[in-house]
Amino acid sequence: MKVSWRIILLWTVPALVIGFFLWQGAFSPAAGELGQNTASSRMTYGRFLEYLDAGRVTSVDLYEGGQTAIVEAIDPQLDERIQRWRVDLPINAPELIAKLREADISFDTHPIRQDGAIWGLIGNLIFPILLIAGLFFLFRRSNNITGGPGQAMNFGKSRARFQMEAKTGVLFDDVAGIEEAKEELQEVVTFLKQPERFTAVGARIPKGVLLVGPPGTGKTLLAKAIAGEAGVPFFSISGSEFVEMFVGVGASRVRDLFKKAKENAPCLIFIDEIDAVGRQRGAGIGGGNDEREQTLNQLLTEMDGFEGNTGIIIIAATNRPDVLDSALLRPGRFDRQVMVDAPDLKGRIGILEVHARNKKLSTEVSIEAIARRSPGFTGADLANLLNEAAILTARRRKEAITMAEINDAVDRVVAGMEGTPLVDSKSKRLIAYHEIGHAIVGTLIKDHDPVQKVTLIPRGQAQGLTWFTPSEEQGLITRAQLKARITGALGGRAAEEEIFGDSEVTTGAGGDLQQVTGMARQMVTRFGMSDLGPLSLESQEGEVFLGAGLMTRAEYSEKVAARIDEQVRQIVEHCHDDARQIIRENRVVIDRLVDLLIEKETIDGKEFRQIVAEYTFVPEKEQYVPQL
């Protein structure tokens, strides 16, 4: 039976305390002799003198240097039988010995044993020794389990994981979708393997490479690939592992890390999430001895200080380059900044092919179709997409992943878990008109992305969804496209107003209105797409300083702020009017699509466009009617 060490400690400590006091009592000076002659009762010193004067005392034994006496005397209350008493004698009683001699009473003096002092000393030391031993055992046990409190003496040591030959299991062939970044980093590997090729022409090895990109784009995976390809000693650590509550510990860990790296040069150091330690200095309110700033200063010195580091390449990753200190980004420290962005269509195809190696796909599954269905997905998103599809396949007891599982996995990753289908009711019909309003406006207005599907199956917080998929990669977005997206987002609210009236509009358009307002404000303040002219009135960078939210000021006057609000309102109202006009002109086709959607619960984009194409606009009636 396994017993917890905490339970053992819980019972051991009280036992040690009790044992300590028992020890003190058992081995006190002269305790052995006095214990053998202990009287059954005590007698006061005054009564002892009365018995002595009356001639009742027969013998006296003195202990503890004359401080205690064991007296034998005749007790008149017990039929003149001899009784033993213990008497505590006063310190100053020199006449007692004289009285005992005058009365011719037998008395004896027992000197204090010298070994009693030794036992007393041992008794006083045994408990502190056992307590210290128990605390040592506790700290050591905590060190083995958590590596926390027991490492008090190792605070200044680096916690970097070290591998003499980095066997990460990842090579450049396992990384896809970021070919430009791979080319940049391939040179780093060549530097480490064949430095003479570059030094022969006077080139020096780069000291640092900073990988910058959104989360999930493959920055850490690239670092693993570099380590796997280079075959040199490899140190890996997170930026947060430098910082502790004690000032100076982070700087000490940086020194220890570079000391180990110098001993194993040439080598690689990978610092993940370097923004945890590399933020701009002086970014807080007030003074004080900032541990993070000391750690950053030491890192700057080690990377490119007075001594320098030859043969050590630092690879760092972050998704917040805007908060990093400028001294950290200068040449000589991080010589290269490699952008690792979300992949394009070709990159997504490559990533899906890598992650599909260990997946059993049906012959009907098209990697290109999946890539076109997932614009904006990062490498981590695509890996999660295929994993979700595999889980759904196993749950449905299929032998291979089909497009049905792929489509459901995309919906789940983007919108959340599938909910319970709605029952036929007024609410379901209202949601159907809302979603068809989005789809019909997005289909008929120019410059809008095509409809991928419309569904009434709830997902996440949404009771219904309309999916739009861009037909091509869009690096730049035109003003017409932005207005088309605003109009399409307002199609749901416009349908509610035209079909049910203003008094029956619902809260379902809350998310749409937030999205619409955000896009319209960006058109005015960032992209210069309004009557205010080509002005950028708001910064795109986030706040860096701790107290920036308290000290921010508007970059324009109150008069300009009022004009911005007016321009935003005009853009939204214009698009809202266009959406309502499209709904009015297409009431016949909308009613048919709503009935079909309530019946089938999901209409794909191809079927939706075919139904819309069956109607033609009649100017006299100002609406679309079925073709004859």
The Cα 613–Cα 616 span in angstroms is 7
Q: Write phi, then psi, for 22 (nearest 5 degrees).
A: -60, -40
CB 368 within 8 A of CB 350: no
504 is catalytic: no
The Cα 465–Cα 511 span in angstroms is 12
The Cα 152–Cα 139 span in angstroms is 10
Most distant CA pair in the chain: distance in Å?
Answer: 151
Sequence-distant (≥ 6) Cβ neighbours of residue 32 within 8 angstroms: 113
Q: How many CA atoms lie within 13 A of 566 on its CB side?
A: 8
- Structural domain boundaries in the chain: 30-112, 161-282+290-339, 345-415, 426-539+553-626
Q: What is the pLDDT of residue 571?
A: 95
Please identify, in words, the CATH class of the domain defined by 345-415: mainly alpha
User: Which candidate, 309, 83, 127, 354, places its Cα nearest to that of 218?
Assistant: 354
The Cα 587–Cα 303 span in angstroms is 68
CB 268 within 8 A of CB 313: yes
> 305 in helix, strand or coil?
coil
Q: With a cut of 50, which residues of the chain have pLDDT below it?
A: 1-3, 5, 26-32, 145-152, 286-288, 542-551
Six token digits for residue 217: 């784009």
Count Cβ atoms within 10 A of the Cβ of residue 345 and give its class: 0-12 exposed, 13-18 middle, 19 or more buried: middle
Q: What is the pLDDT of residue 463?
A: 82
What torsion, rounded to 10 degrees, do the Cα atoms 223, 225, 226, 228 define?
120
Six token digits for residue 369: 């179709």
Q: What is the pLDDT of residue 150?
A: 45
Per-residue pLDDT tens over the stretch 418-435: 777 777 778 888 999 999
Q: What is the pLDDT of residue 545?
A: 45
Count Cβ atoms within 10 A of the Cβ of residue 354 and give its class: 0-12 exposed, 13-18 middle, 19 or more buried: middle
CB 215 within 8 A of CB 273: no
CB 418 within 8 A of CB 602: no
> Is the bond leading into 266 cis (omega within 30 degrees of zero)?
yes
For 161-282+290-339, CATH number out of 3.90.420.10, 3.40.630.30, 3.40.50.620, 3.40.50.300 equals 3.40.50.300
Long-range contacts of 34-39 (CB under 8 A, 24+ apart): 34/63, 34/64, 34/68, 37/61, 37/63, 37/70, 38/70, 38/86, 39/70, 39/71, 39/84, 39/85, 39/86
Q: What is the pLDDT of residue 321?
A: 85
The Cα 543–Cα 47 span in angstroms is 91
For 426-539+553-626, CATH number out of 1.25.40.10, 3.90.1150.10, 1.20.1250.20, 1.20.58.760 equals 1.20.58.760
Q: What is the pLDDT of residue 246?
A: 63
Fold of 30-112: 3.30.720
3-state DSSP helix/strand/coil % of the chain, to nearest 5: 50, 15, 35
User: Which candidate, 272, 339, 278, places its Cα nearest to that of 303?
Assistant: 278
The DSSP string of 315-358 is EEEES-GGGB-HHHHSTTTS-EEEE-PPP-HHHHHHHHHHHTTT
> 314 in helix, strand or coil?
strand
Q: What is the pLDDT of residue 298?
A: 84
Q: What is the pLDDT of residue 23?
A: 53
* From 435, 496, 498, 585, the catalytic residue: 435
Q: How many CA atoms lie within 13 A of 535 on its CB side?
A: 15
Is the fold of 30-112 the same as that of 345-415? no
Six token digits for residue 499: 């079909």
